[in-house]
A and B are shown apart, each in its own frame.
Chain A
Amino acid sequence: MLDTAKLRADFPILERQENGRRLVYLDNAATSQKPRKVIDALVHYYSFHNANVHRGAYALAVEATDAYEAARTAVARFVNAWAREAVVFTRGTTESINLVAASWGRTHVSRGDTVVVTAMDHHSNIVPWQILCQEKGATLRMVEITKDGRIDLIDFGRAIENKPKIVAFPYVSNSLGTVNPTAQLCKLAHAAGAVTVVDGAQATPHLRVDVQALDCDFYALSGHKMLGPMGSGALIAKPALLEEMPPYHGGGEMIERVYDDRSTWNRIPHKFEGGTPNVEAAVGLSAAIAYLEKLGMDKVAAHEQELARIAIERLSQIEGVTIYGSRDHRAGVVPFTYGDIHPHDLATILDRDGVCIRAGHHCTQPLMRRLGVAATARASFYIYNDVDDVDALVSAVRKAGELFGVLAS
């Protein structure tokens, strides 16, 4: 496992005390905490290099542009993108998926077509497709999940028989932690003639990602879940697709030439980056990637999976606790319920012990309906969590049981 004692010292927020106890931050699937190196990168950028990018004829503007473009190179390297040009900076996964829906989707999807999503998708990989399908008169087909929280491959096979235009699914489920067989799903979808949109929000922070090996067409990620700043993110796409796609936002930066009545577009990826970009977010993301690369993503994945395994083992010993999701192929996400205690009450009780978890539907209402629950509690681990954090979680859950006098429902 990772040397958490050393790592924790890199995260200023972990010095916080909650009600006299150390902060036990287990809501990493929502957002990660930031190491000093990332925070310093933001301050350093504004203190020494700030200017608008891609337009200044002076040294400072060149520095800002270099920093921004170096961040693009870092993202491309981190996910093994096809080229630097394959990386479009966005505000995060949600904007990345909306970009694909608005640009590729609007161009290629028409009345009678089908778009496939899964029942374990986050709302951000469902709602943009609903909007597109409603606009175009297309059909949205939701692939079912198995009882143990995996994509139902039989239903997936049936769904792609209709020759969908788009197949969208998560690499890792934010609610269940399931690691989906992404390369296999892409292969099946491609054989059916679809383009694939992979929601990588929960995968990129936690395992080694190789978009070329996955052979997906579009891959969306958020920087804030992987030690980077909020508002940082990217869409990674096959350059040939980006070349033929129309722009997403019109404005400065994304044009080549503006005539009175029409314009021509800048080269990719700039065609999709209208307006002044969030340069410091890109710079911060670059610092986050450097931090993760130093740790090694295989070690990161192993560390979280071990914590999840221990958490599942210890929580399961509490009578009345139900754990959701599959036993294996799971990232560091542990969703659970405890008897008839509502997850919000659990979260409030855990918070008193400084244990931060998420309670609710996790932006996956279709999944919650299939699990037959209105909400779950979710603990999600990252590099700075350790076995003490697991113990704090388990002991706070036991405390909730004592307070509520819980009986297994």
Chain B
Amino acid sequence: MTDLSELYQQVILDHNRSPRNFKRIESANRKAEGNNPLCGDRIQLYVQLDGETISDIGFQMPQGAGCAISKASASLMTEAVKGKPAADAEAMFQAFRDMLAGGNNAPGKLAAFSGVRAFPSRIKCANLAWHALHAALQNSGDPVTTESARDF
């Protein structure tokens, strides 16, 4: 049995309580929306992409619309990709997805989410911000969800 403290690691609880880059960037040139209607998680993601570099990134969740896992994941994601080339961010997205699918841990603090693997019902919470980032970088304009099977 996986202990709860492996899911709710200190870094996750910290980022849930004090999310980083928790801001609206009206002027951002890339935006994406993530929405998991069944569980109610919603995220607005703002990305300033200058050339190939993510020069700024912020996210917002409506009051009460994000659980600890989804909020901390968004927060840690923004920290991880800020100032990085878009291609590196996409590689991190892939590594993060692989980790949740049972693969190796993602680099750095992102490894804190390895405990989510043992809680299948919460994987979609951890994934949501990353799918939104992917949509923003692709400039797809479509809202993303991680509640349908094909999005895992």
- Partner-B contacts on A (CB < 8 A): 19-20, 341-345, 348-349, 352, 359-361, 373-375, 403-405
Q: Known contacts A352-B4, A375-B40, A404-B8: does B64 contact A344 (CB below 8 Å)?
A: no
Q: Does B86 contact A (CB under 8 A)?
A: no
In chain B, positions 12-54 with a C-beta closer than 8 Å to chain A are 13, 38-42
CB distance from A170 to the nearest CB of B (A): 21
CA distance A348 to B121 in the complex (A): 9
CA distance A374 to B1 in the complex (A): 30
CA distance A403 to B5 in the complex (A): 8
- Determine if B38 and A342 form an interchain contact, defined as CB atoms under 8 angstroms apart: no
Q: Does B122 contact A (CB under 8 A)?
A: yes
CA distance A66 to B64 in the complex (A): 52
Q: Does B132 contact A (CB under 8 A)?
A: no
Stretch at the interface among B65-73, B76-84, B88-96, B102-110: B65-73
Please indicate the chain A residues that have their CB under 8 angstroms from the CB of B8 in the complex.
Answer: 345, 349, 403-404
Q: Known contacts A348-B121, A403-B4, A403-B8: does B69 contact A375 (CB below 8 Å)?
A: no
CA distance A352 to B115 in the complex (A): 14
Please indicate the chain A residues that have their CB under 8 angstroms from the CB of B68 in the complex.
Answer: 341-342, 345, 404
- Determine if B13 and A360 form an interchain contact, defined as CB atoms under 8 angstroms apart: no
- Determine if B66 and A342 form an interchain contact, defined as CB atoms under 8 angstroms apart: yes
Q: List 12 A-B contacts (CB under 8 A).
A: A342-B66, A342-B67, A344-B39, A344-B125, A345-B8, A345-B67, A345-B69, A348-B122, A349-B8, A352-B4, A403-B4, A404-B8
CA distance A344 to B13 in the complex (A): 14
Beta-carbon nearest neighbor of A405 in chain B: B13
Q: How large is the interface on B (under 10, 10 to 19, 20 to 34, 35 or more residues)?
A: 20 to 34
Q: Does B7 contact A (CB under 8 A)?
A: yes
- Determine if B63 and A374 form an interchain contact, defined as CB atoms under 8 angstroms apart: yes
Please indicate the chain B residues that have their CB under 8 angstroms from the CB of A375 in the complex.
Answer: 39-40, 64
CA distance A404 to B7 in the complex (A): 12
Please indicate the chain B residues that have their CB under 8 angstroms from the CB of A349 in the complex.
Answer: 4, 8
Beta-carbon nearest neighbor of B125 in chain A: A344
Beta-carbon nearest neighbor of B42 in chain A: A374
Q: Known contacts A19-B1, A344-B125, A404-B8: does B39 contact A373 (CB below 8 Å)?
A: no
Please indicate the chain A residues that have their CB under 8 angstroms from the CB of B65 in the complex.
Answer: 374
CB distance from A13 to the nearest CB of B (A): 19
- Determine if A360 and B62 form an interchain contact, defined as CB atoms under 8 angstroms apart: no
Beyond A344-B67, A360-B38, A404-B13, 17 extra complex contacts between A and B, CB < 8 Å: A19-B1, A344-B39, A344-B125, A345-B8, A345-B68, A345-B69, A348-B4, A348-B7, A348-B121, A348-B122, A349-B4, A352-B1, A359-B39, A374-B62, A374-B65, A375-B40, A403-B4
CA distance A245 to B122 in the complex (A): 46
- Determine if B125 and A373 form an interchain contact, defined as CB atoms under 8 angstroms apart: no
CB distance from A124 to the nearest CB of B (A): 15
Please indicate the chain B residues that have their CB under 8 angstroms from the CB of A345 in the complex.
Answer: 8, 67-69
Beta-carbon nearest neighbor of A373 in chain B: B64
Please indicate the chain B residues that have their CB under 8 angstroms from the CB of A374 in the complex.
Answer: 40, 42, 62-65
Shortest 7 CB-CB distances between A and B: which pairs?
A342-B67, A374-B64, A344-B67, A374-B65, A345-B68, A375-B40, A374-B40
CB distance from A194 to the nearest CB of B (A): 31
CA distance A405 to B5 in the complex (A): 13
CB distance from A375 to the nearest CB of B (A): 5
CA distance A157 to B98 in the complex (A): 57
- Determine if B4 and A361 form an interchain contact, defined as CB atoms under 8 angstroms apart: no
CA distance A231 to B67 in the complex (A): 32
- Determine if A360 and B4 form an interchain contact, defined as CB atoms under 8 angstroms apart: no
Please indicate the chain A residues that have their CB under 8 angstroms from the CB of B42 in the complex.
Answer: 374
CA distance A342 to B64 in the complex (A): 7
Please indicate the chain A residues that have their CB under 8 angstroms from the CB of B1 in the complex.
Answer: 19-20, 352
- Determine if A360 and B7 form an interchain contact, defined as CB atoms under 8 angstroms apart: no
Please indicate the chain B residues that have their CB under 8 angstroms from the CB of A342 in the complex.
Answer: 64, 66-68
Beta-carbon nearest neighbor of B119 in chain A: A348
CA distance A342 to B40 in the complex (A): 10
CA distance A349 to B69 in the complex (A): 12
Please indicate the chain A residues that have their CB under 8 angstroms from the CB of B39 in the complex.
Answer: 344, 359-360, 375
Beta-carbon nearest neighbor of A20 in chain B: B1
Please indicate the chain A residues that have their CB under 8 angstroms from the CB of B125 in the complex.
Answer: 344
